Amino acid sequence: MLFRRNKNKFCFLLFIFISLLAPNVLFAHPHVFIDNTLTIVFDQNGLKGIKAKWDFDEMYSSTLIQDFDMNKDCEFNNTEIEKIKQEAFSNLKNFNYFTCIVIDEKNFDVKDIKDFSAWVDSGRVIYNFLIPCRASVTSSYKEIKISTFDATYFVDILLAGENPVRFEDTSHIDFTYRIFEDTTNAYYFGQIFPETIVLRFRGKK
């Protein structure tokens, strides 16, 4: 994903150059970087939800640690985690938690999350949470599209590493998936394309 992030930065630098020719254009740029790992969770009824694991960049992590690690032990206790949730996460509800989900061409509103946690690993803060998202299993394929991005491009969110999409409880499910750059859903002045996961699943025959 290093190439992908460098590509985004190249697009951003190119846009800066173009904007210098049009000084009335206002723009932002990423201040926070997130490596995102998604786990698709099934149960006997079908799709249950999507677990997100956000690894923040070291600079923003240091800010979170400074602001919320009240006893300075380089860990987050339950009280500190709740404070992080209330002051540095819950507001993302107004932005659908940066998550766009489409089920069989119908938008799914991300209204709430469950099981929020946060911890520190090698100087980086990690958020983990579940997005409840139900889609019943049937004998024919259902298609789910999942994208995670901040349309303002204040936060740059990319799928993490070589194994960014994982699955739980698929013993009764047939599924395929792919990842692509969705050029039809460009954001940030049309310069950036979200990484989109397309999942197709049905009950095993």
Return phi, psi of residue 99, to 5°: -120, 130
Asked if the structure places residue 7 within a domain, the reply is no
Asked if the structure places residue 106 within a domain, the reply is yes
Burial 16-45, CB ≥16 within 10 A → b, else e: eeeeeeeeeeeeeebebbbbbbbbbbbeee
Asked if the structure places residue 96 within a domain, the reply is yes
Mean per-residue pLDDT, 156-184: 94
Asked if 104 and 143 count as a contact pair (C-beta separation under 8 A), the reply is yes
Asked if the structure places residue 15 within a domain, the reply is no
Asked if the structure places residue 5 within a domain, the reply is no
pLDDT for the residue 18: 41
DSSP state string for 92-129: GGGGGGGEEEEETTEEE-----EEEEEEEETTEEEEEE
Asked if the structure places residue 17 within a domain, the reply is no
Measure CA 86 to chain center.
19
Mean per-residue pLDDT, 94-102: 96
pLDDT for the residue 62: 97
Domain interval for residue 172: 33-135+158-203
Mean per-residue pLDDT, 73-95: 96
Asked if the structure places residue 108 within a domain, the reply is yes
Q: How many domains in the chain?
A: 1
Asked if the structure places residue 198 within a domain, the reply is yes
